[in-house]
Amino acid sequence: MAKDILNGRVIKGVTSRYFLDTKNGVKVASARKKLKIFGDILIGDLVEFIEERGTFVIEKVLPRRNTLIRPYVANVDTCLIVIAPVPEPDFLLVDKVLINCLVEGIEPILVANKIDLGSLKELKEYNGILDIFACSATDGEGIDALVGALDGKTVCFAGQSAVGKSSIINAILKTDRLQTDGLTKKIQRGKHTTRQTELLRVGSAYLIDTCGFSLLDTIDLKPEELRLYFDEFELLQPLCQFKACCHINEPNCAVKSEIGMSVSEGRYNRYKTIYNELVERKNNKF
């Protein structure tokens, strides 16, 4: 008799046991040997599994919508890019993560945490470019509004160590389940407290904590493709003298003439930095 095919989502892996979220609660399963050989079950995967002699066995991984590396997770809808007044934000990394989200078809959201400690003037550079939420994980301000934007989504958190990613998740889950830690006193940098990857269910959303900013920080684009991922350039592009203007050294560039107006200087400078990095990488390939 054919066995019933059951459906689940991999929320955690411990050695060769996978924790599956299913409509009947969390089940622990192993995987068919052929799946293990390729090591190809990722946190976030949607899988089919069966019950066999009282144990659960994953039979098949369903096609992935996308795959992130560092941490390795599949089927992510939204990425929260978290910044805070301390540690001092690195907006070049923010922009790199934002570009990669757009490349991967992941919705980016900028979250300014620790608003109890002050505000960030650079936030206005991102008005109209992506959704922005301000919150404080310690006093709970802005957390409900953020939760409202995450309904039904699989959400990963990116951001420098110690910006408060785990703290925000704890505030959302109303627990202190995830370990958090302060800045090392001397150097105002985080300590990379979070290390394990796990999907945490809250209502109809799944949250994925990550460690640091390693997620999505290298860009794999041709230099001339980069401009497509700076939304504020889009309307100006047809006004540049050259149709294929990359807004670097070309004459009569509408983007450059808008710097300080609809194009922020910070964003433009970071565009140039990333553009030059991509040119350098391309040259090194040959």
Ligand X SMILES: Nc1nc2c(ncn2[C@@H]2O[C@H](COP(=O)(O)OP(=O)(O)OP(=O)(O)O)[C@@H](O)[C@H]2O)c(=O)[nH]1
The reply on whether position 240 binds Zn ion by CB under 5 A is yes
The reply on whether position 137 binds ligand X by CB under 6 A is yes
- Candidate ranges 68-76, 147-155, 171-179, 241-249; the one touching Zn ion (CB under 5 A): 241-249
The reply on whether position 11 binds Zn ion by CB under 5 A is no
* CA–CA distances in Å: residue 244 to residues 30, 102, 183, 239: 52, 21, 45, 11
Binding partner of residue 240 among Zn ion, ligand X, Mg ion, none, CB under 5 to 8 Å per kind?
Zn ion
Binding partner of residue 255 among ligand X, Zn ion, Mg ion, none, CB under 5 to 8 Å per kind?
Zn ion
What is the closest distance, in whole angstroms, from the C-beta atom of residue 20 to Mg ion in the complex?
24
In whole angstroms, what is the distance from residue 112 CA to residue 27 CA?
Answer: 36
Of 42, 146, 158, 162, the one binding ligand X by CB under 6 A: 162
Chain-centre distance for alpha carbon 147: 16
In whole angstroms, what is the distance from residue 255 CA to residue 242 CA?
Answer: 12
The reply on whether position 263 binds Zn ion by CB under 5 A is no
In whole angstroms, what is the distance from residue 48 CA to residue 50 CA?
Answer: 7
Q: How many other CB atoms sit within 10 Å of the CB of residue 231? A: 13
Binding partner of residue 177 among ligand X, Mg ion, Zn ion, none, CB under 5 to 8 Å per kind?
none
In whole angstroms, what is the distance from residue 252 CA to residue 233 CA?
Answer: 14
103 to 132, contacts with ligand X by CB under 6 A? 113-114, 116-117
What length is written for the chain? 286
| Nearest C-alpha neighbor of 112 from the set 142, 155, 78, 148 | 142
Of 75, 136, 154, 194, the one binding Mg ion by CB under 5 A: 194
- Positions touching ligand X (CB under 6 A) are 113-114, 116-117, 136-138, 159, 161-167, 180-182, 190-194, 211-212
